[in-house]
Structure 1
């Protein structure tokens, strides 16, 4: 007896005794997924069918018969992927090349999801940096090097955002600099810098979160994990550009050493920032990463973060949000998202958004002293980051990852990490 059930795509309507809206039906040959003529909607149906079969207790499937292209197989895998089990999907056997690409995508996806889903006891700043470095070195050992700036070294080198946010934790904060350089030339220019928010746990600090809001905050390093997955995917697809990955890693905790409301952080570039909300810590650490990207001379910069609840209010958990004042860079990101079948929406950002977090005591504040940062909170957060973006924001993309984590299961996703955004960013890196 086979250890897997065959799953087929069919244009046939469900049998008369079933609801005509039924996604799946069963036959002697296996399971049928009922699709239609709309290719985009079919991907949603197929992913939902994967969730449905996981919910019914299936653990191993073979994608069989005609109609399974790469995107439909990937949609099923994303739905069938379950947080608490080891479900397996055998790819359709008609195209070995597609199966090989899907294997690479699955490896990067599983790595990203595991990083986000593990508890903060297992993923803390240094362990996050080490796991990402080891993973990338396992793919391209000759082309990857890493440096970790840890604890007081951050203060000594001027990386005051990461140091300040992370100094209250028993786990020292870290700025990880991971260099993928396939050129063999140590003086080669950096084509892209990737800057990831790596808050491995976020209590909110003295602007403490309620218990239910804190429960999922192991996911607040989703930006770092997403960029690691994107770089892993791009390397597997043959990336030949030099890319530096900056992971801004800290735990935002409370102790006698914790930073406080009203404190002023003086950054390496001389900018002074008043802290009006210790739960708006992601932008404080990303500021260091963006300045580091500038020091590296990167031509293009992408940051990614689970940054604001305001972005989720705007686009829901089905989309990620992107911000840029560079029209060409924004268009490229949106085109890559469409190419990779990931949902991405551009939200407003203008240079005047930099003025939307004023302070009477410093050059600016890290937020507004209102719940969620007030109206336009996601754009105002992006405006804060624009103050630190190299090249006055030209060539810079900011991803607010509203869809990176599901607090509970949905018809499309299991609870936990989705890794949504990694494919888009990988495609952006690979674009000419």
Structure 2
């Protein structure tokens, strides 16, 4: 059975770097930007906004629930994958039609979110954030499928790299950019800038090439459509050895980081760091450290194997959570914060790259969109629903104890990883092997 993206390539460095200059790869980078931009608006940027206007920590933690659509996007991924929009579909093709429509709606939702007041009407802000998250999760489904369909087989690896780079640039604007602007501009204007960036992404979608659309026999009835679009992809995944443990591992691998991450900006604010300081260290410097960590993780996967890289990255991302205990003890110390974010983001980037490689290897190329949506939904579940109690935990203890606890929460995921490495001793070659 085929796997999706090879971990190591045999191309020369010049050839590999030149591939990123191809127009299709630049388009993929822009789509990655569009994917990353709305994510932080319902996560750390939102939590910082809430903290600045005086919302209590328990409520801020509960706002993590607005990211729920990322968890359940696999439920509507077959609809986006199969349904043709009547007018836009004829004009732009199936993939671009969905993408253009979603991006226009995203721009409107982001603008509307900026016109809410979480201090007076937090429920209205939460509903707007929920709409943004739903549209963002839907956009991710389309972008993943479109990327795979427009790139040749030999471009898929570079496409993943371009997507991640664009994704980080989107996070940079929605994170560092938004926080820095908020020191000088009203939040309504900040959100208007982000909405405008999403509109520009929609314009790029209009001039993007049409994805190839293979001719498929139309399903004769709803039952046949459901079997082909929903049941077959899930049944195929369920034939893998240890598939339940695989899903639980995906859920818990970054659980400790998710708990700590949801309270990171409130922690920075409590330590007295300004928006500009947080933007510079956490969002700007931190993003590039994550990119560097991802590159290191990719090299490690190629050199020592996927499970070993996952283990090293998992242990390091747990240990680096302790560095925030030092920040809690020292208070407003920009050097301590920079050191903590550098270590944490390098480890998180390496672990994240290994996890992307792992998810790619788990996916059957015949059911990429639905299976990849399923796997990333499980990963998002730990970041949203399971991390919603982070604010309550932070209220029950001091900051140093809180971050020490987040480090310990990584242990279950590491134990599951060890079990999987024993179940699949072939590392990255037998992940799609089915049960006998």
The interval holding the TM-score normalised by the smaller chain is under 0.3
TM-score with structure 1 setting the length:
0.26
Structure with the bigger RCO (C-alpha within 8 Å, sep 6+) is 2
TM-score with structure 2 setting the length:
0.26
| Structure that is richer in helix per residue | 2
